[in-house]
């Protein structure tokens, strides 16, 4: 799945980054799903009725795999929200204010996702709170019309910027950046997961934005954990910051957060549903998602992140133990630096001697029962798995299945 259009050397990292995050809490983690065990993937009545297969997710938070699973307190809050009528804008404003207070940032709103936050943040920078301009978007006649971006930060989600009709101006060096900013510049977009790929870092980006009077935006969609990221970038001086709600935060899949300056968040709300003649009208967020996102943020702040990390490490050890009886299998752990910042276990073997490639192995795991999704493509470390999105106990099912698939292939190759 190519979510990003990065140079190929970055693809693995970013395919993962684009995607990752969510949290199974440590001891006593409760999942809104079936209990683990054989047949986990068949346990849902509603999906069985629809003839849709479920998977064990050993891969991470990928939208095409439906992101993450909401903890019961989030889905219960959504159910509660569904029982009453409210004024949508009032809910948006009050939930946003509470989230901002919890995170210690100036202002916040719940969006349809990080992509929705990018769309609305850009609209806020272009049209502000001017009703005529709001209705006019994406026709930019009489408005600013450019957004500056580092060449290495271009990605599939910048479509949400371009939906506003703006032209992206690519820069590489700090000198390019100074030269690219003009009276046409509406915003400067930064992709947090690509911070090591560009010549201009976070602080410099903010410094230039402030000095030149251009609002700066940081797309940190998949970049919790760690928890501190939820406030780090606003504190650093970014005017707007986006997070996905349905990745590491384990909120509703179609929710996200736009954080930042009060004036811009107010403008973003005006550019959004339920206001009808707006660019944001198609990215509607229901009362259930707004409430679910608020509760997901509250929960994430309360979570024992250290215990959760230890739990992931222990589950990786448990997988290693099962797999260690496969002689010659190379195993190791790694933690991606930004995005998907959780422990992963990689597996490497002699593909020609064992008669099975990592793609074959991943395919077999996906197609057989229970269906298991692993991280196979573009990963320099080999095929990898993470307990990040697994229900408790699933790590053993996954390790045993991988061992079976590899052992079978190997004995076939030797017979
Ligand atoms: C996932 C992702 C998005 C989109 O997030 P949604 O919450 O699915 O809208 C945007 N930018 C980056 C970098 C992402 O990883």
What structural domains and CATH numbers belong to the chain?
8-67+304-414 (3.90.1150.180), 72-302 (3.40.640.10)
Q: Is 249 in the pocket of ligand 1 (CB under 6 A)?
A: no
Burial track 2-17 (b if 16+ CB lie within 10 A, e otherwise): ebbebeeebbbbbbbb
**Gap between the terminal Cα atoms of the chain:** 35
* Interval 29-36 mean pLDDT: 38
Share of the chain above pLDDT 70, in %: 89
Give me the residues paired with residue 345 across strands: 333, 385
Report the nearest atom of ligand 1 relative to the CA of 247. Answer: 7
Q: Is 96 in the pocket of ligand 1 (CB under 6 A)?
A: no
d(Cα 114, Cα 119) in Å, to the nearest integer?
A: 9
Sign of torsion over alpha carbons 86, 92, 94, 96: positive
Q: What is the pLDDT of residues 106-135, one digit of tens each?
A: 999 999 999 999 999 999 999 999 999 999
Q: Is 198 in the pocket of ligand 1 (CB under 6 A)?
A: no
Q: What angle do CA 66, 302, 234 make, to 5 degrees?
A: 75
Q: Tell me which of 5, 67, 109, 113 to substitute to probe ligand 1's pocket, judged by most ligand atoms within 8 Å of the beta carbon.
A: 113
Q: Is 223 in the pocket of ligand 1 (CB under 6 A)?
A: no
**Average pLDDT of the chain?**
90
| pTM, rounded to two decimals | 0.89
Q: Is 113 in the pocket of ligand 1 (CB under 6 A)?
A: yes
pLDDT of residue 381: 74
pLDDT of residue 358: 93
d(Cα 145, Cα 233) in Å, to the nearest integer?
A: 25
How far, in Å, is the centroid of ligand 1 from the Cα of 338? 14
Share of the chain above pLDDT 90, in %: 85
The structure tokens 């809910």 sit at 91
Q: Is pLDDT at 11 greater than 50 in this prediction?
A: no
Q: Tell me which of 10, 18, 282 to substitute to probe ligand 1's pocket, judged by most ligand atoms within 8 Å of the beta carbon.
A: 18
Question: Which residues neighbour 6 within 8 Å (Cβ) at sequence distance 6 or greater?
Answer: 14, 152, 154, 155, 194, 197
Q: Is 215 in the pocket of ligand 1 (CB under 6 A)?
A: no
């Amino acid at each position: 799945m190519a979510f990003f259009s990065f140079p190929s050397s970055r693809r693995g990292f970013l395919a993962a980054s684009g995607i990752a995050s969510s949290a199974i809490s440590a001891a006593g983690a409760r999942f809104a799903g079936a209990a683990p065990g054989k047949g986990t993937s068949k346990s849902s009545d509603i999906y069985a009725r629809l003839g849709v297969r479920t998977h064990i997710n050993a891969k991470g938070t990928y939208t095409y795999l439906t992101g993450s699973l909401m903890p019961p307190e989030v889905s219960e809050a959504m159910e509660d929200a569904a029982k009453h009528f409210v004024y949508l804008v009032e809910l948006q404003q009050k939930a946003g204010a509470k989230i901002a207070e919890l995170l210690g940032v100036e202002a916040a709103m719940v969006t349809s996702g990080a992509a929705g936050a990018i769309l609305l943040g850009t609209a806020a920078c272009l049209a502000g709170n001017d009703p005529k301009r709001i209705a006019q978007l994406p026709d930019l006649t009489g408005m600013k019309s450019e957004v500056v971006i580092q060449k290495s930060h271009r990605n599939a989600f910048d479509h949400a910027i371009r939906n506003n009709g703006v032209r992206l101006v690519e820069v590489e060096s700090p000198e390019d950046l100074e030269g690219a900013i003009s009276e046409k510049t509406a915003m400067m977009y930064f992709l947090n997961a690509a911070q090591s790929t560009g010549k201009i870092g976070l602080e410099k980006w903010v410094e230039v934005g402030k000095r030149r009077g251009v609002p700066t935006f940081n797309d940190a969609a998949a970049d919790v954990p760690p928890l501190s990221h939820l406030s780090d970038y606003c504190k650093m001086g970014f005017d707007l910051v986006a997070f996905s709600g349905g990745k590491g935060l384990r909120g509703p899949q179609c929710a996200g957060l736009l954080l930042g300056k009060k004036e811009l968040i107010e403008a973003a709300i005006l550019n959004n549903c339920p206001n009808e003649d707006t660019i944001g009208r198609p990215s509607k967020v229901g009362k259930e998602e707004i409430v679910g996102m608020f509760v997901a943020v509250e929960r994430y702040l309360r979570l024992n992140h250290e215990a959760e990390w230890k739990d992931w490490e222990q589950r990786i050890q448990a997988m290693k133990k099962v797999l260690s009886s496969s002689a010659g299998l190379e195993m190791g752990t790694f933690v991606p630096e930004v995005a998907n910042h959780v422990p992963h276990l990689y597996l490497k073997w002699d593909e020609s001697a064992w008669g099975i490639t990592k793609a074959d192995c991943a395919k077999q795991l996906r197609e057989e029962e229970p269906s298991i999704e692993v991280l196979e493509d573009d990963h320099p470390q080999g095929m990898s798995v993470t307990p990040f999105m697994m229900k408790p106990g699933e790590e053993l099912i996954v390790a045993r299945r991988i061992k079976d698939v590899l052992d079978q292939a190997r004995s076939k190759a030797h017979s």
